[in-house]
Amino acid sequence: MKLKLPEISLKATGLTNLFDVDNHIRKMLGPVINQINRGKSDEGELAEVIKVYSTENQLEESPVDDEPDYKFIGAIRFRKIYSQQHLSDDQLMVAYPLNLNIVDFPVKGETVFIQKIYNKFYYTDRINIYNNPNNSSSVGSSQKFNIGKSTKSQQTLDTAESEVVENKETLDDVFLGDYFKPNFNIRSLIPNEGDTLIQGRFGNTLRLGSVDNAPTIKLRAGQISDYEKFDEGETLINELNEKAVNTSLEENINLDASSMWMTTDETVSLTPATLEDSNIYPTSVVPEEFGGKQIILNSGRLIFNSKESGILGFSNGPIDFSTLDVFGVSAKLRLDLYSPIISVGRRDKTKNINLNTSNVTVRGDSGKTLIRANKIRLLGPVEGEDIRRAGKLQPVVRPVTNEFGTKGKEAASFIVAPGGKDIQVTPAVKGDELKEVLEQMLAMQKVTTKAIQDINQQILTPVLAALAPLVAGATSKPLQVTAETIANITTNILDDIDIKIELLPKILSKIVEIE
C-alpha cells in the first residue's frame, strides 16, 4: 500500500504562531496515520485463542430459533495481544477459519493471526512457540501487559535459562478445552532437505520427501506407540528422556503404531512378524533387505473389505503369506486352486521327508470344491514333529443357498495322519478312472463266477447225482453237499458283486476333484 501526503492550501497570513504550526501538522499527518492504521489492520494482528467451538455442545443458540448455530463450528473467540488487553471474555469477537479446505484448528491459549476481511474476522496459522507439534498454548498471554493487573500467562511449557524447553510439572491437570490434554511426548519430525511435512498434534504425520533425492511418501499414526515390543524401542525412549521435549524424531516403521511407506530407492528396516519361526518365514521368496520401489503397510491389524465387487491381486513375482496363527480360507460358492503343482505342508531343508498321499482323507457334504492340478504334494516337517500340524488345511464349512435351493456344504477338510520318516510321494488316484477299473474287475469276476455256477448246475450236479446211488452209505452225502456248497457260494458271490456295483458311484467325492 502506498502512502499519500494530503494537499493543504497555503495562504499568506503573515507571522506564524505555535497554534498554526500544530494545526498544520495535524492536518497533514492525520490522513497519513489513518492510512497506516488501515493498512496495519489489513495485515492482521496477533491474538490469543480464548475459546474454540469444536463440538455441537459448545455452539451458541441461533438468533432465529433455539437450535445450535452451526456456522460457529471451527470458529474461535479471540483477544488481540496488543489492542484488546482491557476487554473481558464476554466482549470478545468471533473469528472463522480463513480456508475451510485445510484447517489447523487451534486450542485454548494458542496465538494465531487475526485478519478483518469484508467486516468479518478470520484466523490463520497458529504461532510456533515451543517447536512442538502438540500445542503452543500460553493461557493469559493477551492480558499479561494489561496496565493495572498482575496477570501472568499459564504456559504449558517452561524455558530454562539454557533455552531448553522443559515440561511443566502441573500438566497432569491441564485441559486446553473440554477434552484436549497437552502431551509433549509427541515430537516433531526431523526434516530432510526439500521435504513437505504435515504434522498433527497426536503423532500423526505425512512426509512428502526423498532419500538421496529418490521420492518417498511416509504416512503414520501413533508415534513410537509400540516401543515396548522391541529392544530398540526401550533404548530410544531412554535417549529421548534425556533430551528436551522439542527434540525432533524420525518415523520408525516398527515402533510406530500404523504406517504406510511408499519408497522408490530406500532400504526399510522392517521386522516381519513371522521372522522368529524359520519354518514359517518364507525365506525362499523374501528378499534379504526391503529396498527399491515398494509400498509397505505395517499395523496391528490390516483389513481389506470390498462392499460391492471383488478383491483382486496381481503379481509378476511370488506371493507368499505366513502366519504364527491359523490361516483360514472360506468361500460360499466354490474354492478354486489352479496350478501345475500344489504343495501342502513345507519340506525340510536338509531331509527329503514327504507325506504319502495315502494318508490323506478328504471329507465333506454335497457341493464341490475344485482343486485343479497335475500333481498334488503333501510335504511333511522334520522328524519327530507332528505331521498334522504342517499338513492340516481346514476351511470353514458353510451351507450354500442359491436359486436352485440349498446346495449343501461347499468346502473340504484335508486331514493328514501322522507319518514316519522316508515316506515317499505317490500320485493321487483319479476317481472316474478307478471306478471304471473296479467296474471292469467286478464285471469280470461276475462272469467268472457265473460260469462256475453254470458248470456246477449243468455238469457237476447231474454227474454227482448219478454217482450218488452207486456209492454206498455215508460216502454219498459229501458228493451231494459239494454240489450244494458250490451253488450257495456262487450265488452269494454274485449277490455281493451286484451290491458292490451299486455302491461304486459312492466312492466318488462330491467335494474334491482333480484333473
The answer to whether residues 406 and 470 belong to one domain is: no
**Residues 166/245, Cβ–Cβ less than 8 Å:** yes
100 domain residue, yes or no: yes
56 shares a domain with 169: yes
Helical ranges in 417-475 per DSSP H: 431-455, 461-467
Say if residue 48's pLDDT is above 90.
yes
Give the pLDDT confidence of 23-32 residue by residue, as tens digits. Answer: 878 877 887 7
Q: What is the mean pLDDT of the segment spanning 40-67?
A: 83
Judged by average pLDDT, the poorest of 71-80, 148-157, 325-334, 358-367 is: 358-367
**Would you say residue 331 lies in a domain?**
no
202 band by pLDDT with thresholds 50, 70 and 90: very high
Q: Does 355 map to a domain?
A: yes
Q: Are residues 415 and 439 in the same domain?
A: no
Ranking 142-151, 295-304, 424-433 by mean pLDDT, the lowest is 142-151
- One-character DSSP codes across 225-255: TTGGGSHHHHHHHHHHHTS-TT--B---TTT
Q: Are residues 232 and 216 in the same domain?
A: yes
Whether 495 and 409 map to the same domain: the answer is no
Q: Is residue 266 part of a domain?
A: yes
pLDDT of 171 over the 70 cut: no
Q: Mean pLDDT across the stretch 377-400? A: 41
Residue 24 and residue 30 in contact, taking contact as beta carbons nearer than 8 Å: no
State the average pLDDT for the chain: 77
* pLDDT tens, position by position, 212-244: 999 999 999 999 999 999 989 999 999 988 888
Which secondary-structure segment (H or E) carries 338? strand 337-338
Residue 107 lies in a domain: yes
**Together in a domain, 203 and 247:** yes
428, 459, 494 - which closes a domain: 428
Closest CA to 295 of 268, 263, 325: 263
pLDDT tens string 459-501:
777 777 777 676 655 555 565 666 677 778 888 888 888 888 8
Question: Which segment, 24-38, 182-196, 251-265, 407-421, is predicted with the most confidence on average?
Answer: 251-265
User: What residues make up the domain containing 167?
Assistant: 44-173
pLDDT-based confidence at residue 194 (cuts at 50, 70, 90)? very high
- Whether 72 is covered by a domain: the verdict is yes
Residue 150 has pLDDT above 70, yes or no: no
Q: Kindly state whether residue 501 falls inside one of the protein's structural domains.
A: yes
Q: What pLDDT does 196 receive? A: 95
pLDDT tens by residue, 418-455? 344 444 456 677 788 888 888 888 888 888 888 887 88
**pLDDT given at position 354:** 41
Residue 255's pLDDT band, with cuts at 50, 70 and 90, is: very high
Task: Return the minimum-mean-pLDDT range out of 33-47, 66-80, 342-356, 437-451.
Answer: 342-356
Domain check: are 53 and 126 in the same one? yes
- Final residue in a domain of this structure, among 428, 455, 472: 428
Same structural domain, 226 and 151: no
371 and 479: one domain? no
Average pLDDT, stretch 64-70?
A: 84
Given a cut of 80, whether residue 276 has pLDDT beyond it is yes
Single pTM value for the model: 0.63
What mean pLDDT comes out for the span 133-148? 78
**Same domain for 423 and 446?**
no
Q: What percent of the chain has pLDDT over 70?
A: 70
Helices (H), 95-164: none
Q: Nearest to residue 111, comparing CAs of 130, 98, 93?
A: 130
Q: Please tell me whether residues 444 and 416 are part of one structural domain.
A: no
* Most confident range, picked from 37-51, 91-105, 433-447: 91-105
Map grid coordinates 530454562 to a residue: 160
Could you tell me if residue 37 is inside a domain? no
Query: 378, 402, 428 — which closes off a domain?
Result: 428
User: How many separate domains does the chain show?
Assistant: 4
**What is the full DSSP assignment across 175-208?**
-SSSS----TT--PBPP-TT-EEEE-TTSEEEEE
Which one of 280-284, 301-305, 345-349 scores highest in mean pLDDT? 301-305
Q: What mean pLDDT is predicted for residues 371-396?
A: 42
In this structure, the answer to whether residues 267 and 363 fall within a common structural domain is no
